[in-house]
Amino acid sequence: VEKNEPMICVLAGGVGAARFLRGLVREVDPASVTAVVNTGDDTILHGLRISPDLDTVTYTLADAIDPVRQWGLRDESWNMLEALRRYEGRRPQGSSAASTWFGLGDRDLATHLYRTARLAEGALLSDITTEIAQAWGVGISIVPMTNDRVETMVDVLDDGDVRRITFQEYFVRHRHAVPIRGVDFVGATEAVPACLEVLASAETIVIAPSNPIVSIGPIRALDGVDRVLRDRRDHVVAVSPIIAGGTVKGPADRMMAELGLEASVTGVARLYAEICGTLIIDERDAHLRDDVERAGLRCIVTDTMMDDVGVAARLARTAIDATS
């Protein structure tokens, strides 16, 4: 990094953040960028540690993500998953062996094997994440929010009863088609955040357009994170993941509504008002600018739909300019 290249930190979930980062690295030296990535979605399946948001960010920046699915690798094959089905019908009641509800491509599997083997050797998730990112030729620093285990649990309504399931069970197994009553980040208060230094020193902190509840929420739940963000509020800029009252993808809008929040840029503004000085909203929400400002944030209106990497790059430039 050149001496005067300002450092940029991006708080990240999966797809929305990855798309933003792909634009950002067009605008600035990738070496000046650190992505602090949610690991509350991490899960263990088949004994393997799976970190979906870390992998989405890595694969996207490596230009290896499947462009249609938006998760996993392109040109993937699924032989392992097919072969597992043989055992699925034989597993005893109560066993979760050979579960096939979670998509694991053959080539993707290599990443989970590597991560799991390194963890078993005692390596830190942050070091392993760097090794994986470098193996994919990714130029930014990708940092898991903590090296400790934090597990996002979702309380869902099931036949009138509230039942607690893991985030991946909610998101993948139930295709987020069940109403939620609450979320809990188990382990977050004891976990040591791996991001306080970068948050304290970055010139710009971007809250990526990620699910505010289950992607940004777990990072904020770590001890000290909200405190640093509050202190540095003028350096913090968020991009709304909600456009015209809905999401580009995923259940953020429904989750917000089910938790009693307004599923709109105004709802996002209220969630972030204490920790963030500026909210960037989409042109389709231009009429809500005053509401955002009433919630206490500066508001910038621009094109935020990052289907095109050029839009993502311009959005990244807007975010940087908002904080300098």
Please tell me the distance from the alpha carbon of residue 254 to that of residue 145, in angstroms, as a whole number: 25
- Between strands 298-302 and 180-186, the pairing is unpaired
Q: Which is nearer to ligand GDP, 120 or 309 (CB)?
A: 309
Closest residue to ligand GDP, based on beta-carbon distance: 13
Q: How far is the CB of 234 from ligand GDP (least distance, A)?
A: 22
Q: Which residues contact 92 (CB under 8 A, 6 or more apart)?
A: none
Q: Which is nearer to ligand GDP, 253 or 291 (CB)?
A: 253
Q: Tokens for 309, please give them.
A: 């990497």
Q: How far is the CB of 134 from ligand GDP (least distance, A)?
A: 23
Contact between residue 12 and residue 34 where contact means Cβ atoms under 8 Å apart: no
Query: Which one-letter amino acid corresponds to residue 279?
Result: L
User: At CA 151, angle to CA 147 and CA 156, rounded to 5?
Assistant: 165
Q: How far is the CB of 17 from ligand GDP (least distance, A)?
A: 5
Q: How far is the CB of 198 from ligand GDP (least distance, A)?
A: 19
Q: How far is the CB of 282 from ligand GDP (least distance, A)?
A: 6
Q: Which is nearer to ligand GDP, 23 or 277 (CB)?
A: 23
Q: What is the binding site for ligand GDP (CB under 6 A)? A: 13-17, 19, 53, 56, 209-211, 215, 239-241, 243, 247-250, 252, 304-306
State whether residue 162 is helix, strand or coil: strand
Please tell me the distance from the alpha carbon of residue 19 to that of residue 248, in angstroms, as a whole number: 12
Q: Which is nearer to ligand GDP, 41 or 118 (CB)?
A: 41
Please tell me the distance from the alpha carbon of residue 275 to that of residue 288, in angstroms, as a whole number: 20
Cα separation values, 304 from 125, 181, 286, 317, Å: 32, 30, 12, 12
Chain centre distance of CA 47: 23
Q: How far is the CB of 72 from ligand GDP (least distance, A)?
A: 12
Q: Tokens for 141, please give them.
A: 């620093």
Q: Which is nearer to ligand GDP, 124 or 309 (CB)?
A: 309
Please tell me the distance from the alpha carbon of residue 139 to that of residue 145, in angstroms, as a whole number: 18
Q: Which is nearer to ligand GDP, 147 or 215 (CB)?
A: 215
State whether residue 194 is helix, strand or coil: coil
Q: How far is the CB of 294 from ligand GDP (least distance, A)?
A: 21
Q: How far is the CB of 82 from ligand GDP (least distance, A)?
A: 25
Q: Tokens for 182, please give them.
A: 């609450």
Q: Which is nearer to ligand GDP, 20 or 118 (CB)?
A: 20
Please tell me the distance from the alpha carbon of residue 280 to that of residue 269, in angstroms, as a whole number: 10
Q: Which is nearer to ligand GDP, 118 or 243 (CB)?
A: 243
Query: Which one-letter amino acid corresponds to residue 100?
Result: T
